[in-house]
């Protein structure tokens, strides 16, 4: 097992000017002045397939363009069983009652100890370890001279992208002592800042890259052609949920809501669109189950990267959706919500904290607490095109103000240069 450096495309802050505005880009450059040449290491589990990887493909090169020496490494060669265990850690941190066995914790520890022995060689000025998969390896490497952990002034952060509001106690008791070995923790919402975390905590919300293929506007004719290629009629109403195939996204609830809506709108269609990530073996099984659940209805489409749905295709589905759904019961943030909002689509989302961070109910979208309420809001939007346009307009403005990549990078730079106070936004 080793860590492999991820090659990222070159990105320029100036390319974000038309979307974020001059003030936002200038703010990044101002904050970077005190950090020029700083060596920044991001460590995550996989180079593609999930929101963390998508974020790092943008913020790492933007940090470089701002003048920092930013690098990104991922786990390479870890056994599939390890990712089975870490997915269960993820699920139990979000409240699932499914305690890990002693053998599973042993596997988690053994893999992380092996990774700590080959941790990317420093010295580093700032190290950001993302999520539970490499949490122990980072804690161990922090005390290693070879990894730069003993370098004077080096600061190590654990960045948690997960909803920690109701963790399974047995899992959290195992992990929070590891978190406290870092210099600071970064959470998406202060609601996730558990009292057991004794180190400084900063809040940094994720972001979307407005210059990426997924978020640039597609020619309407091409977008409609993409839908047709996957058996979707571009002239009929379309509901879309884009997400990893994960029980917390409640995709079966989305299918149920679709069936209720179809009673009022027989021509409505549904597309559940997602990707299979390297670190998520559970997603493969769930994808198969969803295809079976939707198999009896020709207007319900379950599609993944295995079917050829990649960034441009996701963009087409989101852009052409009459309603974007994110029916999450737990959600650290939910970048697919942000993407739909940026495309000025009306979004109907669950009451999870990550959804509430983005949507002002009734103004920039709707927050719902049940399948029936989800269906009712969808019918309301389909019945009133003006309402959908108003919600979509406010949604796009919300993203422009708060959730673009430039704001994300600025929050990291502020944390690096000024430190983080407990439970205050960086």
pLDDT tens column, 93-119: 999 999 999 999 999 999 999 999 999
- Rounded to 5 degrees, φ, ψ at 128 are -120, 115
Classify residue 311 as exposed, middle or buried by CB count within 10 Å of its CB (0-12, 13-18, 19+): middle
Same domain, 173 and 310: no
pLDDT at position 189 is 95
The answer to whether 158 and 138 have CB atoms below 8 angstroms apart is yes
Tracing tokens 């689509």 back to the chain, one arrives at 345
CATH classification of the domain holding 363:
3.40.50.2000
- Say if 177 falls within a structural domain: yes
Same domain, 151 and 299: no
- Say if 50 falls within a structural domain: yes
- Say if 151 falls within a structural domain: yes
Q: Quick count: other Cβ atoms within 10 Å of Cβ 2?
A: 15
pLDDT at position 380 is 98
Number of domains in the chain: 2
- Say if 215 falls within a structural domain: no
- Say if 202 falls within a structural domain: yes
For the chain, residues with pLDDT lower than 50 are 420-425
Same domain, 360 and 408: no
Helix or strand or coil: residue 126? Answer: strand
Same domain, 135 and 269: no
Same domain, 189 and 249: no
Same domain, 262 and 200: no
pLDDT at position 280 is 67
**Residue 245: partners with Cβ closer than 8 Å, 6 or more residues away:** 251, 274, 276, 280, 282, 283, 284, 286, 287, 290, 304
**Residue from 297, 309, 307, 316 nearest 256 by CA:** 297
- Say if 306 falls within a structural domain: yes
Same domain, 189 and 279: no
- Rounded to 5 degrees, φ, ψ at 410 are -60, -40
The answer to whether 24 and 16 have CB atoms below 8 angstroms apart is yes
- Say if 214 falls within a structural domain: no
d(CA 134, CA 147): 14
pLDDT at position 421 is 39
Same domain, 332 and 414: no
- The rounded radius of gyration (Å) of the Cα atoms in the chain is 21
d(CA 199, CA 185): 7
- Say if 243 falls within a structural domain: yes
Residues 217-248 have pLDDT tens digits of: 999 999 999 999 999 999 999 999 999 888 89
- Rounded to 5 degrees, φ, ψ at 178 are -70, -40
Structure tokens at 318: 């989101």
Same domain, 298 and 392: yes
Q: Is the peptide bond before 262 cis (omega within 30 degrees of 0)?
A: no
Structure tokens at 138: 């980072």
Same domain, 59 and 186: yes
Partners of 138 in the β-ladder: none
Same domain, 242 and 139: no
pLDDT at position 277 is 65
Same domain, 234 and 321: yes
pLDDT at position 152 is 64
B/e letters for 362-377, b = 16+ CB within 10 Å, e = fewer, are eebbbbbeebebbbbb
Give the range of the structural domain holding residue 170, as residue numbers without chain letter. Answer: 2-209+404-425
């Amino acid at each position: 097992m080793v860590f492999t450096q991820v090659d990222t495309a070159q990105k320029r802050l100036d390319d974000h000017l038309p979307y974020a505005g001059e003030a936002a880009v200038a703010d990044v450059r101002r904050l970077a002045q005190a950090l020029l040449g700083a060596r920044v290491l991001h460590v995550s589990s996989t180079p593609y397939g999930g929101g963390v990887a998508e974020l790092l493909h943008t913020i790492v090169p933007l940090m470089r363009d701002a003048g920092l020496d930013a690098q990104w490494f991922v786990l390479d060669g870890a056994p599939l069983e390890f990712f089975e265990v870490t997915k269960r850690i993820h699920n139990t941190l979000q409240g699932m009652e499914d305690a890990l066995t002693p053998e599973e914790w042993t596997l988690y520890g053994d893999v992380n100890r092996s990774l700590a022995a080959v941790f990317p060689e420093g010295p580093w000025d700032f190290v950001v370890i993302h999520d539970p998969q490499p949490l122990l390896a980072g804690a161990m490497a922090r005390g290693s001279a070879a990894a730069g952990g003993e370098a004077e002034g080096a600061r190590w952060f654990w960045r948690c992208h997960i909803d920690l509001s109701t963790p399974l106690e047995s899992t959290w008791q195992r992990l929070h002592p590891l978190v406290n070995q870092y210099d600071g923790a970064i959470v998406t919402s202060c609601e996730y800042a558990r009292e057991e975390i004794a180190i400084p905590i900063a809040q940094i919300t994720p972001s979307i890259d407005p210059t990426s293929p997924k978020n640039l506007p597609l020619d309407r004719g091409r977008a409609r052609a993409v839908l047709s290629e996957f058996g979707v009629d571009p002239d009929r109403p379309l509901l879309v949920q884009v997400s990893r195939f994960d029980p917390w996204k409640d995709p079966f609830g989305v299918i149920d809501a679709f069936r209720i809506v179809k009673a009022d709108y027989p021509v409505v269609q549904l597309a559940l669109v997602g990707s299979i990530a390297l670190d998520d073996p559970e997603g493969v099984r769930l994808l198969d189950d969803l295809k079976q659940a939707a198999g009896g209805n020709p207007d319900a489409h379950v599609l993944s990267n295995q079917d050829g749905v990649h960034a441009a295709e996701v963009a087409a589905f989101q852009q052409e959706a009459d309603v974007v759904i994110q029916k999450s019961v737990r959600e650290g943030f939910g970048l697919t919500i942000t993407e739909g909002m940026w495309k000025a689509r009306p979004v109907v989302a669950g009451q999870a904290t990550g959804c509430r961070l983005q949507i002002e109910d009734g103004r920039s979208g709707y927050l719902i607490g049940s399948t029936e309420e989800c269906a009712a809001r969808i019918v309301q939007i389909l019945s009133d095109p003006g309402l959908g346009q108003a919600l979509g307009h406010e949604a796009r403005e919300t993203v422009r103000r708060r959730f673009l990549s430039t704001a994300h990078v600025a929050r990291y730079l502020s944390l690096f240069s000024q430190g983080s106070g407990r439970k205050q936004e960086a």
